[in-house]
Each structure stands twice: as C-alpha cells, then as structure tokens.
Structure 1
C-alpha cells in the first residue's frame, strides 16, 4: 500500500487564516485520502479549538506576534521565538513531514523557516493584496507562493507566484439555501430587508459601536439586522438589542452560509477571507477596513473592490458618523445593490483550495 504524504499546515490566529487552511486540508484529503495532515498553531489562539472541530490534529507553539500598540509587551518575544523553533524541531522529528504549507499567522513563520532550512518542500499562501515582511522573507525560499490577486511580483519572485484566489469554506461555496431559509434560521421576517454585520471572528470595535449608536435607525427604516459582535462586544450587543424583534445578535455565527443567504446587504471588515466570501456569495457590501492591520492591507483589499464599483468603502474613522446611514441608503437602493452585485460577481473564486492542493501534491511528489 502506498504511503500517504505527510503535510503540515501552519498558521492561524483569526478565522481569515484558519478557515482557508481547513479548506486546503479538506481538498488534500479529497484528492489523496491517504495524505496525513498535522496542523501547527499558536497556543491560546482560536485554531486550537476550530481545527479539532474540523477533525484534524493540531500542535500548539508558545509564540506571539509583535504588539504594535504596546512595545513593552514585546520584551519576551525573542525568547518565545527561540522556544518555538525548538518546539518545531521536535514536531518535525516526530512527524517527519514531506511538505509544509504556511497560511499566515504567528505560527507560520517558525514552521516554514525550519522547513526551508531542512530542505523540506514549503508553500506559502498569501491571502492579502499586500504581503507582510515575514511572508516576503519566506516567499524567497518557498517552492511556490499562492496569491489571491495579480500584481504580487513586488513582494515575491515572479517565477514562484501562482494566482489561485483565496480558499472559501465548502459550506459557503456549495450552499443552496434560499433567502427565506436563511432569514428563518435567525428567527427574523422574510418580508423585511436584512442587513448582516460581521466584524471578523474577533469582532470589530468601530463597526459595533456605530451599530450600537444607530440601532434605532434600522427599526425606524423597517430594516432588520443580523449582528455578529465578536466576543469583546457580545454582552453589550445583547443588552442594547434586548426586546428588539428586528435584531438577532450573537458573538459568533457558526453556520455562516445561513447568514449570507439571509443578507440583502453586508457590513464587514476587509480582511482577505471576508472579501473572498462576499465575492462568492455575490452580495452588496459596505467594507470598513481595520486600520491597524499590517501595512494597512485591509484598506488595500477594500480599495481594490471599491475602485471596481464592486463594494462601498467607509473608513474606520468615518464609521461612527457614516456607516449606519451608508448601509441603510444601500438597503433602500435596489439599483445600487444590482450594480455592486454585477461588479463583484466576476471576482468570485470557488475552487482555490483544490488548485492549491493539486499543486502541493504535484510538487511534493517531485521532491519525495
């Protein structure tokens, strides 16, 4: 019996890294069921919960990222990085991978760096249209760099780049739910226009505060709201929505396919994966980029769509005064909704996970 390839998938920190990683893992297993997979993440981060839920094994590293808001918190960072390399060495000695795929996040760097030092096939997936410094370093020595958009030659060697788009969760790509099914899932009224607000897996302070302040306006305008607050704002969100029949609120939506089916208009951060999902479901969206993302890549992501008239961009600083009214105006304007849908539809990529998995298996096969 043929031995399956052993592949490590490293990274995490947010849903934007974890869900594409799981999509790639699923595609690898579909293409070659004997493939043995191991995830490596950062202890205390959400991948340690989400990956086992998806049915995969994960090892955690003692690592943290650079804290831009408090330099004093970075004092122990070099020690954590050194410790993580020892942990990675132990994982490699035990698992003996044929290849490593990095999807971004704290744990991606030490795993890919070690793989490259040891001559193990390494692959990088850069989901954003602006690559961070560590990914640029890793990309120089990777066997292949999978990217979401064109124009990435300024970050990576042109010969290593493969444009694949971003992997989107299978449940979203293959969903056949009707709008009514989606709305009833949240206990809301199918006859009302529905706005979905998602701030990413960890929540979005400016979006939540804007919605909190303008909650009454949705009711006045006859609109209803599905509001994913993230954990930090969950309690406050539930308090202000108490007794409002037109608002569903929770910290996290586990079955996003129902939320996307229900939505007539989406309010979202502009992380690469959020945008990839909005493109797949082809919904009109108001994007509020997180301004402190590395190299302000969320603004770059959002502007790419706004310049194509495929989404509306509201800056984080303007969210408090403009976001709710912008979303309401869009919800009341079927012609603008149609224009945004028409322009976002060609940007949809539904099989990035399979393209990436196929290429990884092809190139890993050459190396074994």
Structure 2
C-alpha cells in the first residue's frame, strides 16, 4: 500500500487533472475524526497526509458545514474520563476527555475543534478559591481525546476570568487570565501556544464580567465588562488586539446591563433581550468611536421566552439562546423559533451548550 500510495496517478475528467493526493484529500476530508484516526494506520502515506496541516485545514472546512453543539456533565466526576456529548443534525455522539477525574467548572470557549475548559481541585464558595485549592486550564480536542494542561499560574483569592484568541494559523492561540488585585486594579497574564508559557501584562483597570461572555474576531478578544462610574454600574466592552493592546468600547445606552457578545459574519454584535420578549441585535460599526447600528429586532413568542438567559451563540443564520435548563433556536432567515431537543440533558446535570466543530487540530502548537 505504501508503494501504491506514493505513486502519482493522473485521472483526466472534463479537462481537469487530479493527483492521487487531491483525490484522497477530497474523500478522506469528508470522514469524521474517529474514522480518520483508523485510516492513519492504513499506510505511512495515508498517515502523513492526514497529519499534514493542509489536510487538517481541508477537513476543518468540511466539518464547519455541520452544525454541532457540545455539552458536558455539570456535576463532579471522579472517574478517569469526563464524557462530552456532541449533537450534529439530530444525532448524538459521546467522547471522553482523559483528565484524571477533574471537575470541569466550565467550558470557556470552543473554536476549530479545540475547547478551553477550566477546573479546580476542592470546594469553593461563590467565586472564592480556598488557599489549599488550585485552578487549572485545559485545552481539549474531544474528537482526538487529546488534553493539554496549561502551566500553573499564581493562586488568586477569586476564580480568574478567562478569554482565548485564535489565529492566525489553525491551532495557534493565546489564553488571557485576569486576577483580582484590589478594588480598582486587575492583573492580566497571557499564555501563548507558540511559546508554551505565561507572561505578565501588568495591571489593567477593567476585568471581564464572566469568562463565557466573550468572543474572538480577527485575533481580537472582546469581553462584556461592568464598572462603577460616577456611582452607577455601567456596561462596556473590554478588548485586547493581536498586539496585546487593551481598549474599551462603549455600548448602546439601552443595552448597558447584560448583552451577549457574538460573532455574526465576522462582525462583533450584541444580542439583548428586552422586557417581556423582544430580541435585539446590534452591530459594531466603528470600534474607536463606539458606533453601533441596530441590525435586527423581533418579538420572542411567550412559549420560547427563556428566563435567566445565560449563554448566546451564533452558527450560520441561527442564534442559540440557553440557560441551564432550556435551549431554543431563532432562525434569522425565516424568523422562526424552535426548541433544542437534547435527549440526554436533564435539569442541573449538563452544562450550557457551546458551538463545536470537529477537527484534527492538536492542542499543542
């Protein structure tokens, strides 16, 4: 098979010439990761092809066509593996993350098949961490079952806020971690997948409100943040660009308390719910001048109005709105609503859903 696979076979069809690698890439890139891991044992040629960056990119392009969402158990598990469920086109599959029985406090983000998860050892009270406990960050690929534990960082009295930027290469990323210092200042550290270590960025005046309400667009990370200004609580956006420069963006006055940040067609947008059932979407027009335009507005049917909205994400033309009990979809093209039926989920047993795309990308650059 090695000899056969190494030869270039030319096939002429409709005046187009293909090499065997093009044909194999076209076929294999349509397979799920589980099948590709088996195909790697067929021959050295197949293994090298599947492990090549160009093939990983081709496979990722195909995977993005299938909408998928990931959940994990939101209760402690002391087994050797943590199950992670993914849902694609109505079908449910289960993967396992080899994490020595850690308890995942949350999925921070998911991008190109890599999921950033946080966990801690030992009990905590609200957002405080006891001195004897440690806080860990993992980068996981559920499809390949690879898990990378990032180097430890100094302990903090409170659980740090996290954010991840991706790019420009496929599996290059930076993890930002904010530590509480005092009433006015936070310390920020950044981990680079290229360097493989943390570095301090010094103190910053603002900190993200939550880790989950952040988004990365064109290598810039955006978080929703709350600050006391002139005696009142004001919402704004904290941003860090690819050169690691910080900035803040004002948000529309009527959306100041709790909008959700999403990437809609490469544009930073805010998704907010008003009153008894109105959904608004704002698009950022100018980050320097904080200029926003209301891009969308629609009414939420009473039977789809989620109380205590905790997470919002967008895939293609659908918005997923979720809390710990219920998830619903809104289709912007048809202006219709539907329930996200998750047969495995049960109240207080599974995490919030997070957009997920299966890939072969390694966790370590």
Q: TM-score range by the shorter chain?
A: under 0.3
More helix by share: 1
Larger radius of gyration: 2
| Structure ranking higher on relative contact order (CA contacts 8 Å, 6+ apart) | 1
Report the TM-score when normalising by structure 1: 0.24
More strand by share: 2
